[in-house]
Amino acid sequence: VDLEQLESLNLNRNFLVGNIPEDIDKLTFLRELDLGQNTLNGTLPTQVGNLTNLDNLVFQNNDFSSLIPSELGNLRNIDNIDLGDNEFKGPIPSELASLPQLKCLLLAGNRLTSTIPEEFGMAPKLTDLEVNNNLLSSTIKSDSDICSSEIDRFVVDFNIVCECRSCILGE
């Protein structure tokens, strides 16, 4: 079966186990990749960043334990990335903030460390940023670009101190 023309792959809740194959980037026409709510683990292959037609990427609720690959910053058409509820570690790649179509970035429930990159305050279309339940460790000042951005939903509880009005009021 030739799957190279495939545009949507949704295998959510299929009890999949193991790693994502590194040759995933052969699916060059893929617009949607949803492998959420399985038991996938290991490293998220950097080759996912070569799937430049993607507009929806969902790997939430698996067991990935790698860094989030900075190559995801190549996904110029992406508007939704959901990597929540895994074991991703390390910093949030600042490259994600430069994605021109990104509206929703869900990274809650991982083991991400360091700080939220200031670049997210200048993300052109970002309206939903969830980074709660991680190990982030900085204060976001009320005059930060993130606090004055167009982000409507900014969820940061259970890991960092925030002085943003929206964080304080739970807006």
Each residue's pLDDT tens digit, 107-126: 999 999 988 888 998 898 99
Token pair listed for 103:
């509206």
Per-residue pLDDT, 3: 84
- Provide the greatest CA pair distance for the chain: 54
Q: Is the pLDDT of residue 140 over 80?
A: no
Token pair listed for 99:
């994605």
What's this model's pTM, rounded to 2 decimal places?
0.89
How far lies 153's CA from each of 20, 58, 128, 169, 170, in Å?
A: 30, 19, 5, 12, 9
Per-residue pLDDT, 147: 66
Per-residue pLDDT, 160: 59
Place of tokens 């895994």: 86
Q: What is the mean pLDDT of the chain?
A: 89
| Percentage with pLDDT > 90 across the chain | 70
- Is there a contact between 147 and 164 (Cβ–Cβ < 8 Å)? yes
Q: Is the pLDDT of residue 139 over 90?
A: no
CA 44 – CA 103 distance, rounded (Å): 21
Q: What angle do CA 103, 85, 48 make, to 5 degrees?
A: 60
CA 9 – CA 12 distance, rounded (Å): 9
Q: Once rounded to an integer, what is the mean pLDDT over residues 5-9? A: 96
